[in-house]
Each structure stands twice: as structure tokens, then as C-alpha cells.
A and B are shown apart, each in its own frame.
Chain A
Amino acid sequence: MRNKFDDELENLNLELIKMGGLIETSIELSAKVLINRDLEFIKKVNDLEIEIDDMEKIIERHCLKLLLRQQPVASDLRVISTALKMITDMERIGDNACDIAEISRFLIDQVYIKDLVHIPQMADAAISMVKRSIDAFVNKDKELAMEVCSDDDIVDELFTVIKNELIEKIQEKAENGEQAIDLIMIAKYLERIGDHAENIAEWVIFSITGEHKTI
């Protein structure tokens, strides 16, 4: 017979998965706003952001309740403390996705100073990182989590490439400056999302092995 604590742990797990699904959708939609210039998703991203914040509070309360009432030890304690850390990163990803959508709103009626090539690539890479970090959490897959950690370099490199491109554009024409700054901010947010995904992956590794390495 399963006891109450096990049930609670499973519920916590499901809540985390649900929150993971929310941030995935949120970041996908904000990328759509940016790349496909689709305004209708902005409201959805904002709604999702509120839902993600609620979810964070719910999970936090749940974790603290478990810690206080059940006084878990060993791996159970690890799972709960991991959950507490993960939701912070998840919530930040939700915020960043929302920020991207917000900046994209201003860009929608502007002509891009250059065709977006690397930013969509970066968005894809960041989305894939978030997706895989949550997959790694769901399947308790250490290898996948490690893969996500190393993929952060790709996102970082893309950020440098984008930065250099935009510097060139500003040098070409000073009027490009305003849009270039918006674009660099989007790139920075994507880079942050990559970092948070990496953090999640690190916490996944911690919950499996009990060792947290800050690379």
C-alpha cells in the first residue's frame, strides 16, 4: 500500500511537469510572436506568465508543507529541495518569455534591419534546451541533463554572433540603433533562458546523483 507521503511526492512531481509544460508553451509562443510577427499570442503569453507565477507559489507551498509535516530524509529530501530550486529557474524562464513577447510587440510594425537568421536559431536552441531539461526531469535521465548543460555553449556562441552582427548594423547606419538594442535584449533574454535551462538540468542531475556541480 502506498502511503500518503508517496502520493504527495507524486503530486509534486506532476505539478512540476505541469509547470514545465507551461513554460515550454510560453517560450514557444513568444518565439512565434517574434519570428512570425503574430500578435494574437501576446495575450496568451501574458496569461501563461500569471499561471506560471501561481504554479510557483503552489509548488513552493507544497514543498514547504512536505518538509515541515513529513520531515523527509535522504533522496526524498533531495527531490523536494530540487523542486524548490527548479521552480525559481522555471519562473524566471516564464518571465523572460514574457519579456521577449513584450519587446516583440514594438518590433511588429517595424521593418527588421536585417533578416532574422540567428535569433530564430537561438530561439530554437533555447526552446530545445528547456524542453530537454524538463524531459530529463520527467524521465530522470542523467545523460540528457548533461547534454543540456553542454548545449548552453551553443546558445552563448549564437549570442556573440548576433552581438557582432548588430554592432555592424549600427556602424552602417546610426538609425538602426534603436532596433538593434531591442534585438540584443531579446538575444540576451534567450541567452538567459538557456542559462536557466542549464540550471534546471543541473538540479536534475543533483536529484539523481546527489552531487551538484556548478560548471
Chain B
Amino acid sequence: MKKRLFLVIMIISVTASAFAFILSVLVYYDFYVLDVKNQLKTIVELSSESENWNGKDKISSTVNKILNAVDYDMRLTVINERGDVVYDNWANRDISENHKDRPEITQAFDDGIGENTRYSHTMQSDMYYYALKINDSEVLRASRKVNSINSMFERVTPMLLFLFAGLLILVYIAANSFTRKIMKPVNQMAESLDEMLEGEKNKRIEIYDEFEPLSFKIREQKVKINRYIEELKYERDTIGMITENMREGFILINSCKHILSINASGKCMAGNENFNLDNNRNIMELTRNFEILKRVDASIKQNKHIVYDMAAGHRCFRYYFSPVIEQQKQDVTGLLILIEDVTIQKDAEIMRSEFSANVSHELKTPLTTMIGFAEMIKEGLITDPESIKKYCGMINDEGLRLIAMIEDIIRLSKIEGADSKDDSLVNLNETATEVISLLQLKADSLNVKLNLQAGNVLMKANKNYISELLYNLVDNSIKYNKNNGSVNIYINKTNKFITIKVKDTGVGIAEEHQDRIFERFYRVDKSRFKETGGTGLGLSIVKHITELYGGTVQLKSREHKGTEITIKFPVYGEYDE
């Protein structure tokens, strides 16, 4: 701006002054030439009296007079009609030659007066000649050097340069101050732009009226930008919150495999909790697992979705690799990796497959026995009626066991699908007493004491299920007890929980089995069930009934010391008494 202004002013002033100079020089030169001619004319006219030029002495004295009066060099020549020079004050300088053909002489002889301006080789400059006929046979010619217009310019140019230099300084100062003056409000506006835009509409700064639309536009834009920023911030926060609170791991990488975004779960699951996401960190810096890196490569290169299950320690993670493709383009611009913890699903899968294997095994065993005995009888291998009776009894027993097991399985699936329609108020004390009376005989035969300590506790539930639950617990405690052992049953109720606790002094459960004894068909000692009986579904039923009423099962057990199973049902509202 400043430079430009300076340049413009400079150009204008320089051209203007140059033109003025040229014009004035031209005009002045005209005046000068005219003046030269007039002076010469005047001198010649005044001294043209013929007696002044009569005889050599007269001529000399006249010439001297004239030359004394003027302060410049002047040539005076007297030429006769033949063109011969009669007198010339510059005779020593000039070779006198015939002057007949000089235009001013010819003119003077013809008209009495003649003048001409031409370049003189002798003087090396323009000369002005003025000729006057002084008598019939002679012409007086005066001549004088006329400075050329170029020499005028030559003399003027240094002055002009001085002027330009002066102008340069002047214009520089002027341009500076002008720019400053013009820019001051603009600068002010820029400085106070923030305040101006922060909605302080009252605060007006001095600006040109011409800037008003600009400042208005800026203000408008600022409002718009602020709104966009807010929107973006909100969006970013939302996405950040979502990814950060996701239980699944989330990793986003670009096509160079630099990590763009990763959440806490992602770091955890990749086994690098302390990973900090700086610029340009490669996925290899997060995990060095080849199986994962291989699939990252494959997914990006082949542009396909890959799912991969990977075990890490005791947990199992499922990785989903999804290539990110920009719209319009076909290239993969990044990769989204989602990691899901599928340990529970995997475990459930294993449990399910174990369950079906167990079910078929458990159901097959009694059938094999039955078919074996039945075949022996059919083939007539056993003929003795006593033996037949014995074997039929065994077939019967196995059949009963099979039915008991199937009933248990049916019950279990019923409990799983049960609803609370047939719930009524159950007196836990009464139910427990009933169960004890059912099991008393068995306990006596194994020499186990049964003790019940119960308050008058009511609970909204299906009586059959509660009875089943207590039966299974107490039955187990009797079966896996020692001689002279005891089973204590506590039932009580607080504001929050109904607690059923069954504690025995039995064989206990080793730690490694404790997690699994609630699984269907799971047995601690696979060889023992023949003598104790049972289907392996008892505790599983207990667990399902407990969960049906929102309760929890807690197991405390030490091998050879005893087992304590505590069941807690939450109490919803008051309905007893």
C-alpha cells in the first residue's frame, strides 16, 4: 500500500514537473531567439547610417563602438555587390570567400533587408545573420551565435535532477504519512476486531463509513463461524464420549497405519494400557501381535471386512477389521478396528457343547445297562428265576434313574421359562420343616443331624420351586457329609434380604471345582455318583431357581471341613404379617 502510493505520487509529480520544465524551456527559448534577433536588428538598424561605414577608419570606430556596447561576441561584415568582403571584424578567423550566394546577402541586395539562421561550421554552432543594404553597392551584415535548444536543456537538467531528488524525499514523507493516516482506522479496526466481534455492539471504533459493510460482514461471518465451531465441538465431544465409554475397543487408523483415534478399552484390549496417542504413531507401536498386524494389512490391501477371534490370556477378544472407504473414491483411506470381549460367549459356547455331550452321555449310560441286561435275558443266558428277578430289578432301577433325570431336565427348562403367575406367599419355615421331614430318614441312615433355625419368614414365590431348592441343598449336604456330621439350616429376613443358609460339616469342595459345581451335570468326583445317586443337576436347579427370584448364590467351602451355601433373595416391598 505504502509502496504503491509512493510510486504513484512519485510518477505523477515527476512527469508533471518534467513536462512543466520542457514546456517552459520551449517557451523561454522562443523568447530568447526572438530577443537575439531583435537585439541584432536594433544594432544594425541604428548603425546603418552610410557615413558610419565610409572608409576604413570610420568602419573600425563604428565596430568598436558597437562591440563595446554589447557584452557578447558579434561579427560584423561589409560586403559589396560582387560578394567580396570589404570589411570583417573576424577576418583573421575566417577565410574570406565569396558571400554572394549567402541567402541573407542576396535578400538584402534585392529587398534592402535579409536574415537567416544556419549552422556555421566555423563556429560549430547555429548563427543568426542579419543583413542591411547601407548604400547601393554595400551590405552590412551582423551575425551572432544562437545557443541551440539542446544546450538549454543541458543547463537545465542538473537543476531538474536536484528537483527530482527533493521530490523523492518529499513524496516519501508524504506517502508515509498518507498511508499511516489512511491505515490508522483499519489497523484500529483489526486490533479491536476481537472486542468488536465479541458482541460488544456499543463499542464503536472510528472507522470510515466505507468500511461499515466490511465490518458488518466480518461480524456476520464471525457469528456463523462460532456456530460451526460449537456444532463441531458438540459433535466431537459426543463421538469422544461414545468411543471413550464404549466397552468395546475402538481403533481408527489411516492407510499408512498411523493411529488416528483409540479409546481406553482399545488400549486395554490390545495389551498396552499406557499407550499415549501422539502424532503419527504406527499401529505396530500399539501391538506387535502378528496375527492382528497380518489382518490389518490384509484388510487394507484387499478392502475386505475381517473378523478374527484371538485369545489373550484367559480372555477371548473378537476383532472386527472394517476398511474405511471415502465416498466417490475406491481406495481404502483407513481402517476401523473394533474389539469385542467375547469371553462370556465363548465360555457359554463351551458350556453348551459340554452340556449336550453330558446329556447324551448321562442318558445313554442307564440305557446301555438296561439293554445289556435285557439282551442277556432275551438270549436265554439267564434262566434262573432268582437271577432274572434280580436283573429285572436292576433294569427297573436304571429306568427310574433315567426318568428322574429326564424329570430334572424338564424341571430345569421349566424353571428357565417360568413366570411369576403362580407365585403365592410361601412360609419358608414351614417349607423347610416339610423338606426336613422328607429327608430325615436318609439323614438318619447316614448318621447326620439336621438342625433348622428359622424365623417366620414369608416370601412371594412358587412353593414347589422353593421346596425343590431347599430339598436339593439339604440333600446334597446329607449326601456329601461325614459320619456323625450335621447340617444346619438358617432362614432369616432383614429389611433388604431373605437369607437361606445351609451349612454342613461334610467333605467340602476343592477350590478348582468351586466355580463349576453349578454347571449342569458337573461332578466333583466323577466316580462317586453311583453310590450317592443323583443326577448332577441338583445345584444347577438351585441356581436357576435363585436367579428366577433375582437372588444370588454364595459358596464358601474348604476341603474336608465343610460347605456353606448362602442364598440371598432381595425383598421387594412389605407383604408379610
Contacts and interface: CB of A to CB of B under 8 A. Distances in A.
Interface of A: 10, 13-14, 17-18, 20-22, 24-25, 134-135, 138-139
A17 to B, nearest CB: 5
Interface string B282-304: 10110011100100000000000
Contacts, number: 28
Given A10-B280, A139-B274, A24 B285 contact: no
B425 to A, nearest CB: 57
B280 A17 contact: no
Nearest to B274: A139
Contacts of A25: 290
Nearest to A19: B288
19 contacts: A10-B282, A13-B282, A14-B282, A17-B282, A17-B285, A17-B288, A18-B288, A20-B288, A21-B288, A21-B289, A21-B290, A21-B293, A22-B290, A24-B288, A134-B288, A135-B272, A138-B284, A138-B288, A139-B275
A138 B290 contact: no
Contacts of B288: 17-18, 20-21, 24, 134, 138
Contacts of A24: 288
B565 to A, nearest CB: 35
Interface in B242-287: 272, 274-275, 280, 282, 284-285
B271 to A, nearest CB: 10
A139 B280 CA distance: 13
Given A135-B272, A139-B275, 15 more contacts: A10-B280, A10-B282, A14-B284, A17-B282, A17-B285, A17-B288, A18-B288, A20-B288, A21-B284, A21-B288, A21-B290, A21-B293, A22-B290, A138-B284, A139-B274
B109 to A, nearest CB: 94
A21 B291 CA distance: 11
A102 to B, nearest CB: 22
Contacts of B272: 135
A138 B285 contact: yes
Interface in B48-63: none
B292 to A, nearest CB: 10
A20 B288 CA distance: 8
Nearest to B289: A21
Contacts of A138: 284-285, 288
Contact of A18 (B274, B275, B284): B284
A135 B289 CA distance: 13
Contacts of A17: 282, 284-285, 288
B233 to A, nearest CB: 29
A24 B289 CA distance: 9
A135 B282 CA distance: 14
List of 3 A-B pairs having minimum Cβ-Cβ separation, nearest first:
A21-B288, A17-B284, A138-B285
A40 to B, nearest CB: 16
Contacts of B282: 10, 13-14, 17
Give the most central of B272, B274, B285, B293: most A CB within 10 Å: B285
A17 B280 CA distance: 15
Contacts of B280: 10
Nearest to B286: A138
Contacts of B290: 21-22, 25
B282 to A, nearest CB: 6
Nearest to A141: B274
A78 B274 CA distance: 26
A134 B274 CA distance: 14
Nearest to B285: A138
Contacts of B274: 139
Nearest to A17: B284
A32 to B, nearest CB: 13
Contacts of B289: 21
A130 to B, nearest CB: 11
A5 to B, nearest CB: 15
Contacts of A21: 284, 288-290, 293
A134 B208 CA distance: 66
A17 B285 CA distance: 7
Given A21-B290, A25-B290, A139 B285 contact: yes
A15 to B, nearest CB: 9
B294 to A, nearest CB: 11
Most chain-B CB neighbours within 10 Å: which of A20, A24, A138? A138
Contacts of A14: 282, 284
A13 B257 CA distance: 14
